[in-house]
Copies of this chain bind each other. A is one copy, B any other.
């Protein structure tokens, strides 16, 4: 076996723990050697729980220590660019959670930093590594349903996002924080870039939840026309209360494909004929994409060990950000927006 890749975790929140768990329990190819978080209390709690002794309040001090090969960045989106560039400039490979950045200029900065330092850059699009999505992609590529014509991707999630994650200025809102995966998946599965988008949003529960974020929305419906003529939709409802739900449906020239299901476990119970059959649902994204999270980390470490370019790279992250920006402009201006308007010529 190769030597394990030494990894420093940047950020100690929920998704950080998912990656830490992968590294500690499921992916022998990686070794979690340090952790960074600006909040001392969060840092220590995470360090204690995960059994990591090397703890840093800034990425800078971690880099000064420097005994690692790669960073896994899970901090809020607005910090991504500076942290990713800083790590790349010190020669560290970068695994960067989605959304890649707040705007395309930041995306470009990150991509250039990785390139000039010859480090690898992978974006946290774990759905590409989920066994179902991966099998579906392979079968589409093999021509099983013919050329994809129409795709629908949905992500509904249970909890109200934190204030920064629903604010258009700090995070680009739900289109970015919840639906980044959909933006990536529809483009990946269609093998086509979006050409123009039209977005409707609605704020139906905000008032009851006491949300006063400007432009807040809890329901979003995206229409996409792809280059080459395919069509697609993305929908998101957050908070949706009922669970975590992520599914895709595609109609190709020769057939239908459904990826994923709301059902979370094959245990069905019926105890009341008025009620009927009850089947567990996925409760969280961590549960739904448990395999995807482990396998994206395995893939990243394997890329580092073998020098192969990651499958979910900087340009993929950039396209997802572009979709978010065009989509946001669409609902603000109430018109279809071409991707070229936000991406330039």
Chain B residues, CB < 8 A from A262:
256, 258, 268, 270, 277
- Find out whether the CB atom of B256 lies under 8 angstroms from the CB atom of A229: no
- Is there a chain B Cβ closer than 8 Å to A266's Cβ? yes
8 Å CB contacts to B: which residues of A126-172? 131-132, 135-136, 139, 144-147, 149-150, 152, 156, 158
Binary interface encoding of chain A residues 266-289 relative to chain B, with 1 for a CB under 8 A from any of its CBs, else 0? 111111111111111101000000
**Which residue of B147, B152, B267, B273 contacts A139 across the interface (Cβ within 8 Å)?**
B267
- Is there a chain B Cβ closer than 8 Å to A235's Cβ? yes
Among the stretches A65-73, A90-98, A116-124, A236-244, the one at the interface with B is A236-244
Among the stretches A100-108, A174-182, A195-203, the one at the interface with B is A195-203
Measured CB to CB, the nearest residue on chain B to A241 is: B254
Among the stretches A39-47, A218-226, A305-313, A315-323, the one at the interface with B is A218-226
Chain B residues, CB < 8 A from A38:
none
Measured CB to CB, the nearest residue on chain B to A228 is: B204
Q: Which of A28, A136, A147, A270 has the most CB of B within 10 A?
A: A270
- Is there a chain B Cβ closer than 8 Å to A205's Cβ? yes
- Find out whether the CB atom of B271 lies under 8 angstroms from the CB atom of A281: no
- Is there a chain B Cβ closer than 8 Å to A1's Cβ? yes
**Which residue of B221, B233, B257 contacts A268 across the interface (Cβ within 8 Å)?**
B257
- Is there a chain B Cβ closer than 8 Å to A112's Cβ? no
- Find out whether the CB atom of A267 lies under 8 angstroms from the CB atom of B256: no
**Which residue of B240, B261, B263 contacts A251 across the interface (Cβ within 8 Å)?**
B240
- Is there a chain B Cβ closer than 8 Å to A37's Cβ? no
Say how far A90's CB is from chain B's closest CB, in angstroms. 27
Measured CB to CB, the nearest residue on chain B to A203 is: B229
- Find out whether the CB atom of A268 lies under 8 angstroms from the CB atom of B278: no
- Find out whether the CB atom of A260 lies under 8 angstroms from the CB atom of B266: yes
- Find out whether the CB atom of A132 lies under 8 angstroms from the CB atom of B241: no
**Known A-B contacts A28-B24, A229-B203; A255 and B237 likewise in contact (beta carbons under 8 Å):** no
- Is there a chain B Cβ closer than 8 Å to A230's Cβ? yes
3 shortest interchain CB distances as A-B pairs = A255-B271, A243-B273, A258-B268
Q: 19 A-B Cβ contacts within 8 A?
A: A1-B51, A26-B26, A144-B269, A144-B271, A149-B202, A149-B205, A150-B202, A150-B235, A152-B233, A198-B223, A202-B225, A204-B229, A205-B253, A223-B233, A240-B251, A242-B255, A242-B271, A243-B270, A245-B256
